[in-house]
Each structure stands twice: as structure tokens, then as C-alpha cells.
Structure 1
Amino acid sequence: MRWRTGRQSNNVEDRRGQGSSRGKGGMKIGLLGTIAIVLIGWYMGANPIQLLGLVGGANTILGGFGGGSSSQEVTTGVPQDDAGRFASVVLASTEDVWNPVFRQLGGRYVEPKLVLFTDSTDSVCGYSTAATGPFYCPGDQKVYIDLGFFRELQNLGASGDFAQAYVLGHEIGHHVQNLMGTTDEVTRLQNSMSKTDGNALSVALELQADCYAGVWAHHAHQQFNILESGDIEEAINAAGSIGDDRLQRMSGRRINPDSFTHGSSTQRMEWFQRGLKSGDLKSCNTFGS
């Protein structure tokens, strides 16, 4: 991926090295540990994010939106290290893509913040550890990531800088959904349906974020010529590496599509490629007609 000459975004909060006061004394777990906890959550009918929080720190109390405030110091602006610069450049490219897309739709794109943290952090959505993985919080319109996640991604067989860019593009895709009202509508519908039907809507939401990541990549390459040989394969491989069926298989569980919340490897790869080829939001209707 050609990124070193790209513009860096100022919408970065760098909390790395500071952690969360609530996470002191907590234990660290890797991505495989995360998979195990998520699967335990599925089996028990519990919230996997809550389980992750309980593992991450003994004093953790997770709420939904509107969690406790954080006393962490924050460095804003453009990071100076290589990993931070990369994330900042990818964020800037999403801004440069989604701003004109929203203008063409007659709307306004509100640029999200990207929070870089180490080990644990607080958000409006609650306390999270690095084991939670990257996530988007609709309540404060911020994407959170411990960049160490990319090492865990490599352990799953997904390497390369554009595999990492795909992850960030997916999380920004959730921000696009939030701005368009899709997230609230899905939450409203899930409150009045069965767990199986609610999971199906979660899958549709995640696959649409994959498609939006493809839309971003399409326009970013058109505008900035960012893609190099092998980049698309890196992103597709990353999408396939974190499919629900593959993660369940890795954990030794029987594959259960009714429990999927993100989609199968095949689905994730297909929807990313659909957005990449079309560059059109209309092609990303994962919810059907």
C-alpha cells in the first residue's frame, strides 16, 4: 500500500502507554483467548464484550452507552511513530473519501476520532481491553484500536499493510452506518425479535461494514493510487481470516450459523469485493429488499 506520502489526519487521540486506571492489575489475553471468551459468551447467552471486560480488570464495571468518564491523558494530533502514522494516514484517506460521498448524497460527513491505546481504555461504550479487538463506539463516534491487534491478525494468517487498512476501513464503515441511521434501526429491531433473528441482523450490519470498506478502498485508489500488487489479496485474506465459521472451527466447536454475528469467511470476502468493484453504497444492501 502506498501510504508514506499520504496526508495525516488530526482526528487522532493517542492514549498509548497510558492504559486505563480501571485496568491496573488486569491480565492480558491474546486473540485466541478472545475467541474462547466470545464463544463462551455465545454458549452462555452472555455479552462477550462484558466477559472480556471482566477478564481485563478486576474492578471493571461495564455499562452500555454512557459509561464512566476517563481520567486518561490524551495526545491529539498526528502521531510520529511509524505505526501511528500509518493509522493516521488511513484515517485521513477515509475522510477524503467519505466527505465527498456524503456531499453527493446531500448530507454532511462528521469525521470520527481514532483512539490509539495500549492494553485497555475507557469509552462511552464502556471499559475495553486490547483483547476486545478494534471497535466503533456510536455513543462518542470514535474508533478504538490497540495497534498490537495487527500482530494477532498476522497469527491468524492475515499479514500486510492493506490487511490492516481493511480493518480500519471496516470500523469506519460502522461510523458511516451510524451517521446514516442504520445502526439505530438495527438496534431498534433487535429489541423486539429472537436472538437468532437478532444475530442475523448483526451479520448484515457487519457485512455492510465490510462492503463499505471496499467502497472506501475503491475511491481511495481512484483518488490517491494507493493500491500495490497484492494489496487486494491481503484485504480479502484478512476478511476471510476473521469469519465466524473459521473462528468457530479454530476453537474446536461445531459450526453454527445461527450463532454468527459477523458472517462467514466467504460472506465477508464477497461483500468486501462487492464494494471494492462498484464503489457504490447502493451495492452494499446486505439487508435485502
Structure 2
Amino acid sequence: MTSLSINNGLTLIATPIGNLRDVTFRAIDALMQADQILCEDTRVSRKLLNHYNIHTKLTSYHEYNATSLRPKIVRALQQGKKIALISDAGTPNISDPGYKLVESCLANDIQVSTIPGPTAVIAALSISGLPTDNFYFGGFLPSKTTARKKTFASLRTLDTTLIFYESPARLVACLYDSLEYFAGRTAVIARELTKLHEDVRRAEISELYNFYKGITRVRGEIVFLISPPQKEALYLSHDQIKKLLKERFADETLKDAVRNLAREHDISRSLVYRLALEMKDV
């Protein structure tokens, strides 16, 4: 097999998201032939390079040093260096700080090339069973509840599959917050993709919440996908649901009101029941 030389300029190279064998021949050639490899964490990237006996110089390039390093990298590229940009896992520039380097290269007429490969967002979408013709990728969700809810609120009426990255430590809180805006929708938690303990769970959001809140410690990198809305009623807020319940309580028992409202509006029955109990306690 003839080796394909890396182009002059900056080359973005996709790396495995878990399984080290998920790397292309061309990517290996390019990593070997580059003058320098920019990566997020040299400790992480070194594992891949050692596995394939690649000895190219590694330089850490991340959000905390990018501003100071970027001019030096651009100068090296202008001098004819071949530099590769990789991320810890997957395709560079997907939820990482590399785009500003690409922007600087283009502004200085430096060639930017790509060697495509794995990316967790597309891998998760392809096996989710959710619509794939149109989707929104929101990257990592905010770590704070208020900001996370604001994000969910801004997307609740978007008629497309929603995809996010999430930390395992925040997964339960994320699912709980999402119930207020996406109750009744099908969601998917794709965890540890391509790794030994790969786990993909597809269910209504309330079911996923109940499952994961019972787990002491969730591990692994997570992709969180939410199905598009089915009906306008899915946009109902908790206050609107309570108002509809109050109207039903005049003629129906709590059990019947919950069941009928959930069915008619395609809302999670467990959510409606919880809100009904809150009303009874007031």
C-alpha cells in the first residue's frame, strides 16, 4: 500500500472515539509524516501514537493555551511545516477549541485539509432509531441547572432530533431537567460507544431518568439524544398541565384525570401523576 503524504498546511485528523482500531490507514500515514501533532491532552493521544509506533512530536493545544500558541503555529505553517490537529477522541473541531486555529489559517491563506473518521455524535445518531434527516447538535450542555433549563426551553419547539454531549456526573440532573420541557418524548443515552462496555438505552425520558437515578455511579462518555416533538401539546409547561388537571378534577378522579390527560396530549403519565400529587398537597 502506498503511503499518502500529509498536505502542506494544517490537516485535521479524526481519531478513534474508543476502539484504537477505528482509525484509517491514511490517518496513520499522516500522523507519521507530520512535522508536529497538536492535541488536547498529550497523555491521551500518546496511547494512540504508541499503539501504532508513531513518534511525531506532540504539542498540547487546548482552550487555556490556544490564544498564546496560535500565532506561533501560524508562523510555522507559513514556513512550510506540516501540522496535524487531533482531539482526544473523534473529529477535531467538534466541541473543542480548534475552530479558531482553522479560522486563523484561512485568514492567512494557509491550506486546511481533513482526514475524516469517527465522531460520537454521528455514531450515536446512526444507531438511535430517531430521525436522521434533520438534527440539531448542541455540544456539551451547560453544567448549571439554570443555564441547562434555558437551553432546553429554547429548543423545545424545534422540529428535529436534538443531540448533546453530557458528563456522567450530571446525567441524572440533566434527565430530570429535561422532563419539564420534553416530557413524553423518546430519548436515547449512548454511552461508551465502540468500547468494551458500550451501552445504548432507548426509552421515554421519564423511564431513563428512573433507571439512571438508581445507579450509584454512571461511567463513560455520553451522547444524549431526544426525539422531535410529535404534537403541539408537547410544549405544555408544568403550569399548563396543572391547569388542565384542575379542569378535569371537577368531573374525574385523580387516576382517571392523569390517565386521560397523558393519553390525549401524549405526555408522560408519570410526570402528570407527579404534578397531580403536588396539586393535591397544596
TM-score (norm 2): 0.30
Higher relative contact order (CA 8 A, sep 6+): 1
Which structure shows the higher helix fraction?
1
TM-score (norm 1): 0.29
Highest Rg: 1 or 2?
2
